[in-house]
Chain A
């Protein structure tokens, strides 16, 4: 603080509080709607205080889904989302850390070629190759499978870059000492590189957990069976055109879909900020 200006401090707090309230408002409305009976929501204006249907609404969606839209049980969707949110970061970290290790700690023919191949994937997000990627998955018989949901999303240049960048900062003396002591490359990897990379892995895990949990276009394309829906897909399937959408159930599902990633962001804030700022460098 350069100087003390009470008026400006007051304005700063006021703006931040206003911002936080406006940002939180949709969440509050969603929570209130998820505790009301349907009749209260369609009675304009809907009440702005929570009702008494919390347990009924959440129980209904968890076990039976909605009654007018998709009737798939949400507990199953939460499970599918969790599979994606865990398999994608773990798979990404595993394949990226070993390929970055190879690229940094070895000299071999085609090394630059491989590096370039991984780099180019930055430019091919799933959105621009929708139809052909779908066909590859269909040809491989991976529609409606967990492999189809996760495998195409675990290759990523960002994670490989992040590990490569980190390995570059590891002092050469460590590798030298390991070699003098007679340790092979894999021994060095397990005993030195892996323990040193913990922070980077944690940061990457948080970001990729959210990425995996929030996937939309990909599961939308390759899941047609209700048992394979992720929570986010399930929500959009519950919305039916016209005025019959059961908003109380949609909002209960939306709350369930938001809680796990929001908890990860809030509880692991330090890793989250680190991961966010570093993966974009």
Chain B
């Protein structure tokens, strides 16, 4: 799409794009190029000498059982976050689409967690689930469940999944609600006249028509689980216990900042960049299709 009417100036457009281009070059391209460059370097233990090692860092990385484990953990984590987040918010949105009285109040009560930082979401849930003093821990103990996420890896994973889903529900909810409200009422009415009950109408008409929204949210939630949940993890489990919640982003941070492994961390950054690019491309191809739909 192009404008028919344009202005002419030899210098003004350059001046107008200059601030954004300057920031993009300094803070995006330069670091990205450096990440690529570092990923080919190996630093000695004292950080005194560096040597060019080609793809060695990547070979080491993909032979490192901890890294492969972190891949697996990230996959489990993001599927759990995306799957349960989408399911819960779809139910809530379908109900909110149905009610008339109090609709705005419900909406307000369901969207505020979007305003909470992931790190704070982590802290709130970690407090309720705190090994000895947590209120939920107490309730679980009454029910005979021995809860201690500081030593039990599965429980730690469950904790970060709950905090992340809680944080992301409002986002999913708003998109599902918008999707539901854009479905023509005549379709639903026609099905009702033909004798289809509410459940049948939902699965045969509403759910298929929502599939673009669902797919879009799936991609967005996976991106969220991959990157934005850094705060949830750093404020609660810090990747532990024994690496049970160490997702890829956390490992980049841990290896690079805390362990000082420049080459290895940069190689991980490069791998992550490819993952983001793949997800972005999927998302854009999908948006093109949605326009036709």
Q: What count of chain B residues pass the 8 Å CB interface test?
A: 98
- Which residues between 150 and 168 of chain A lie within 8 Å of chain B, taking CB atoms? 151-152, 154-155, 160, 167-168
A99–B51 alpha-carbon span in the complex (Å): 41
With contact pairs A96-B20, A154-B23, A216-B119 given, residues A16 and B230 touching in the complex (Cβ less than 8 Å): no
Residue of A nearest to B109 (CB): A20
Q: A205–B175 Cα gap in the complex (Å)? A: 19
Q: State in angstroms the CA–CA spacing of A3 and B112 once bound together.
A: 31
Tell me the nearest residue of chain B to A261, going by C-beta. Answer: B115
Closest A residue to B276 by beta carbon equals A123
Question: Is the beta-carbon distance between B227 and A127 smaller than 8 angstroms?
Answer: yes
Chain A residues near B75: list those with CB within 8 A. Answer: none
Q: How many A-B residue pairs have CB under 8 A?
A: 295
CA distance in complex: A98, B102 (Å): 42
Say yes or no: A220-B234 contact (C-beta < 8 A), given A108-B14, A160-B20: yes
Q: A8-B198, A132-B35, A168-B3 are in contact. Are A95 and B20 (CB under 8 A)?
A: yes
**Restricting to B220-267, which residues have a CB under 8 Å from any CB of A?**
220, 227, 230-231, 234-235, 249, 252-253, 256-257, 262, 265-266
Complex Cα distance A262/B112, Å?
A: 6
Shortest A146–chain B CB gap in Å is 15
**Interface residues of chain B: helix, strand, loop or mixed (majority):** helix
| Chain B: CB-nearest residue to A13 | B99
The chain B residue sitting closest to A259, CB to CB, is B115
Question: Is A2 a contact of B117 with CB atoms below 8 Å?
Answer: no
The reply on A194 being an interface residue by CB < 8 A is no
CA distance A104 to B112 in the complex (A): 36
- Known contacts A124-B32, A235-B235, A30 near B127 by CB under 8 Å: yes
Top-7 shortest CB links A-B: A214-B117, A132-B31, A102-B16, A261-B115, A132-B34, A216-B231, A106-B13
Q: 16 A-B residue contacts at CB 8 Å?
A: A12-B99, A27-B124, A96-B20, A102-B12, A106-B6, A121-B28, A125-B227, A127-B272, A128-B227, A129-B28, A135-B31, A217-B234, A232-B231, A258-B115, A262-B115, A265-B111
A-binding residues in B (CB < 8 A): 1, 3-9, 12-14, 16-17, 19-21, 23-32, 34-35, 38, 88, 91-92, 95-96, 98-100, 102, 106-121, 123-125, 127-128, 130, 132-133, 135, 138-139, 166, 169, 171, 174-175, 178, 185, 188-189, 192, 198, 216, 220, 227, 230-231, 234-235, 249, 252-253, 256-257, 262, 265-266, 269, 272-273, 276-277, 280, 287
